[in-house]
Amino acid sequence: MTVDETADYLRVCRSTIYTLFRSGDLVPAKVRGRTLVRRIDAEAFLERCVGAS
């Protein structure tokens, strides 16, 4: 997913996605210069957040 698609999926803003990249909570994938996020990684992030509540 693109950064925008990931932000929509997680219902956060774009800057939050980049913050999650910097903290290591979400792993970006670079593909031909594009920053992408695997859906499975976004889902795993959600599971960790739900489990922490």
Per-residue pLDDT tens for 11-29?
999 999 999 999 999 999 9
Give pLDDT, residue 4.
98
The two tokens of residue 9 are 């999926």
Number of helices (H), then strands (E), belonging to the chain: the values are 3, 2
Q: E-assigned strands of the chain?
A: 29-31, 34-36
* Total count of domains within the chain: 1
Reported pTM = 0.88
Domain that holds residue 12: 3-52
What band does 53 get if pLDDT is binned at 50, 70 and 90?
low
